[in-house]
């Protein structure tokens, strides 16, 4: 799929969505949200895809919401419509994907762009990249889930500082704080991101979906409830074909070949 604002490629069990509005540093417009949502639906409908990579063209991953792009069909008397009816369902769809997702942040990552990246399971960033909660610089409050996503990642004290000050956070510091998985040299970003998605694409896909469920619910569960959920998920994992293959491969002293089921 080559949309107006992005490119979707599906190959070898991997889907890659590349934001493609370099002239705006991949700012997110109504059109790009429509294209992105359609791409995610296509990924879900595909029985082939077992991992998803998201990145951007040019000098930025995403500079956040495009405040100047046309919004045809939106109600001018309903300023919340874009966030409520376009951003929220699209980001939730990404967050709820059963397959593992990876973001490769190649430059500026601001506002709603940060929320997009953090909605993925694993985030890598180029050393020259940076993250910024730019909302306050425009007299606005965080949206697109930023106040929740950033706080969950780095804790209240650091999240509050980022939100109130609106300052750039270097990729290396973002990795040190636990906002992202790893910071890598610029020329190694796509190589490392590709290595990760290639590994995930041949892994135990159902097990990944269960791990994602555990990590999501751990944020709110008590220890007792989380242990019960672990037991439930472990029971489901034991019944997968991939678990049977892993046990057989272990006994035969070879590398398992997973089919994702």
Burial, 34: exposed, middle or buried (Cβ in 10 Å; 0-12, 13-18, 19+)?
A: middle
pLDDT value at residue 1: 62
Q: What share of the chain is helix, strand, coil (3-state, %, to 5)?
A: 50, 20, 35
pTM: 0.94
pLDDT value at residue 80: 87
* pLDDT of res. 70: 75
E strand or H helix at 33: helix 30-45
Residues 6+ apart with CB under 8 A from 71: 29, 30, 82
Q: What is the pLDDT along the chain (261 residues), one digit of tens a residue?
A: 677 899 999 999 999 999 999 999 999 999 999 999 999 999 999 989 999 999 999 999 999 999 887 777 778 888 888 899 999 999 999 999 999 999 999 999 999 999 999 999 999 999 999 999 999 999 999 999 999 999 999 999 999 999 999 999 999 999 999 999 999 999 999 999 999 999 999 999 999 999 999 999 999 999 999 999 999 999 999 999 999 999 999 999 999 999 999
168-170 and 130-132 as β-strands: parallel, antiparallel, unpaired?
antiparallel
What's the confidence (pLDDT) of residue 68?
83
Query: What is the pLDDT, as a whole number, of residue 54?
Result: 98
List phi, psi (to 5°) of 51. Answer: -160, 150
């Amino acid at each position: 799929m080559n949309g107006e604002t992005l490119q979707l490629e599906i190959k070898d069990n991997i889907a890659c969505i590349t934001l493609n509005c370099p002239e705006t540093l991949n700012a997110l417009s109504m059109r790009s949200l429509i294209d992105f949502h359609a791409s995610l639906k296509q990924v879900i409908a595909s029985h082939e895809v077992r991992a998803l990579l998201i990145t951007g063209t040019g000098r930025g991953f995403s500079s956040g919401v495009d405040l100047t792009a046309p919004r045809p069909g939106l109600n001018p008397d309903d300023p919340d419509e874009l966030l409520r009816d376009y951003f929220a369902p699209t980001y939730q769809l990404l967050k709820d994907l059963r397959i593992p997702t990876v973001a490769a942040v190649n430059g500026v990552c601001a506002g709603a762009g940060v929320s997009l990246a953090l909605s993925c399971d694993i985030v890598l960033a180029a050393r020259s990249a940076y993250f910024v909660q730019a909302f306050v610089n425009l007299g606005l409050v965080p949206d697109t889930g930023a106040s929740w996503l950033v706080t969950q990642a780095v804790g209240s004290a650091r999240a509050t500082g980022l939100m109130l000050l609106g300052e750039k956070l270097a990729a290396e510091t973002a990795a040190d704080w636990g906002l992202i998985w790893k910071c890598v040299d610029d020329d190694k970003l796509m190589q490392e991101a590709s290595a990760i998605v290639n590994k995930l694409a041949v892994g135990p896909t159902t097990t990944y979906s269960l791990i994602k469920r555990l990590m999501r619910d751990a944020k709110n569960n008590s220890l007792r409830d989380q242990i019960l959920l672990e037991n439930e998920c472990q029971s489901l994992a034991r019944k997968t074909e991939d678990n049977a293959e892993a046990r057989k491969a272990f006994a035969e002293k070879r590398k398992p070949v997973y089919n994702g089921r």
